Structure 1
Amino acid sequence: MSTNLAKQLREGTTKSHSMAENVSFVKSFLGGVVDKKSYRKLVANLFFIYSAIEQQIEKNKDHEAIKSIYFPELFRQSSLAQDLNYYYGVNWSNQITPSSATKLYINRINSIGINQPELLVAHAYTRYIGDLSGGQILKKIAVNAMNLTNNVGVSFYDFKAIEDEKSFKEKYKKALNNIPLNDIQISQVITEANIAFNLNMQIFKELDSSLIKVMIMLFISSLNSLRKKIV
């Protein structure tokens, strides 16, 4: 049984994907404007999100819809923990809390993990396929923008257990297509994927305000420096 779910998910989330890319924080990031304080907040929020996703996938790994896409080599929790250790120090776990938007995201994941596990497919697709598709580009942007050395602070983008990311992505798409879902469930998964994109956008919008504040502060600082030179 093949459902062509991978293609349906891609086509069914095209608009949401485009909207997510046009959030100011994402546009700034893609343009190479990355503030370390805002970025470490993002890493912290991602830690909570991936922890929830991976906990629910682990709990439901024998579920008919989940076992086909159960690939622990994709899990990001430990990689994000390494990055948090860099940005916050060894006591990072005592310094981070999920943002309001992140809490909503986590609650959604935990709710469907208990009540409708097949919808976890949508969240796994949204996060992991995105990570595999653009991870190396985003890593390069982050490294250059924040002057990172020796790849510290960007472990999130490294899939050390996957030798060939392109081949693995094809393997993952085939696994998606082999998930035994009926037409109603497929429609629900696509709807859930769009919800996942929206939840991500809300987190990016929270980070927008932090980035804007930093940019204003930098602008004011630059003005003050300029005034001193003029005087």
Structure 2
Amino acid sequence: MTTTTAPPPTIAAEPLGAPRASLGDTTVDELDPAVPPAPVPFSERLRTRTRSGHGTSSRAGFMSDLMRGTCTRDDLVRLLAQYWHVYRALEQAAVGAAAHPVAGAFVTDRLTRLPSLEADLAHLAGPGWRDRLDAVPATVEYVDRLRGPASSSPTAFVAHHYTRYLGDLSGGQHIGRALRQRYGLLDEATTFFTFDGVPDPTTFKDEYRARLDSLPWGEADEEAMVTEVLHAYDLNARLLAELDAERGLGAAPGPATEGPSTAVATGASS
């Protein structure tokens, strides 16, 4: 008996350009190469361009030790003392920026940190806390940057505002909890890390990014902001490294060389 093998079923090839198969009742058409892709929002491009630095400070020696509970109360006071200088300069710059048609959109009392820093320092160091405000060299340079370019350039101001405050909102609550658990601190000693005026940080950060995306800036302005954010990351990293050097745990780095490879983020991202 001769057995006849049936030929395999054939599948008709779709002509090029024909619609693809439908998903349910929705037909999925091939992408039209004539239609350009949607532009990437500036906030996303900013995050991507500075991604190498995101979160690095939280993994640096000083912050890592602080979060593990191996620092001392004096170490925490030293850190908050540096931030006192930084935020005093930044919030002084914000007073002038508030009237600017672009930079002013980011200024809000809901983010103000200086009173919280002063309250925490008074709680941790007592009434003589102002005698313990010695600044490390990187902090001095940081303050000079905030009183210089960040006080005269809207792009530089927004860059530093974004770096510090969105970083604080992203990681501050976690750091505050860790400090209370590791060192037995009361809430009154960690108010810098909480934002009573921002009950929903996620929504606030989304709104902040939307403002970034609506900025009337050209490519040069956007590049200037990216560069300044990277510089802010580097200043913060050097500040922490110098605090480590004070404790004899590492050598403080010299001034940053040019280029994004030296940038280290505050965790800020945002």
TM-score range, shorter chain: 0.7 to 0.9
Residue in structure 2 matched with residue 62 of structure 1 by the alignment: 99
Q: Distance in 2 between matches of 1:60 and 1:187?
A: 20
Q: 1:92 to 1:31 in 2, by over 3 A?
A: closer
Identical-residue share of aligned pairs (%): 27
Residue in structure 2 matched with residue 200 of structure 1 by the alignment: 236
Larger Rg: 2
Structure 2: state its 5+ residue gaps. 1-38, 250-270
Cα deviation, residue 18, structure 1: 4.8
Count of residue pairs brought into register by the alignment: 211
> Could you report, residue by residue, the CA deviation over 1:115-172 in whole angstroms, capped at 9, with x for unpaired residues?
32321111111111111111111011111121113x1210101211222222111111
Residue in structure 2 matched with residue 182 of structure 1 by the alignment: 218
Runs of 4+ in 1 over 3 A off after TM superposition: 210-213
Question: Does structure 1 residue 15 correspond to structure 2 residue 52?
Answer: yes
Structure 1: state its 5+ residue gaps. 214-231
- The structure, 1 or 2, with the larger RCO (C-alpha pairs under 8 Å, 6+ apart) is 1
Q: CA RMSD in A?
A: 1.9
Q: Distance in 1 between matches of 2:114 and 2:202?
A: 22
Residue in structure 2 matched with residue 128 of structure 1 by the alignment: 165
Q: 1:167 to 1:19 in 2, by over 3 A?
A: closer
User: After the TM superposition, which residues 20-99 of structure 1 pair with which residues of structure 2 at under 5 Å, given as runs?
Assistant: 20-99=57-136
Residue in structure 2 matched with residue 165 of structure 1 by the alignment: 201
Q: TM-score, normalised by structure 1?
A: 0.84
Q: Distance in 1 between matches of 2:99 and 2:173?
A: 31
Letter in 2 for 1:171: E
Residue in structure 1 matched with residue 254 of structure 2 by the alignment: none
Q: 1:5 to 1:72 in 2, by over 3 A?
A: farther
Which shows bigger deviation, 10-19 or 67-76? 10-19
User: Are the aligned partners of 1:8 and 1:190 in contact in 2 as well (CA < 8 Å)?
Assistant: no
Which shows bigger deviation, 195-204 or 91-100? 91-100
Q: Distance in 2 between matches of 1:209 and 1:144?
A: 26
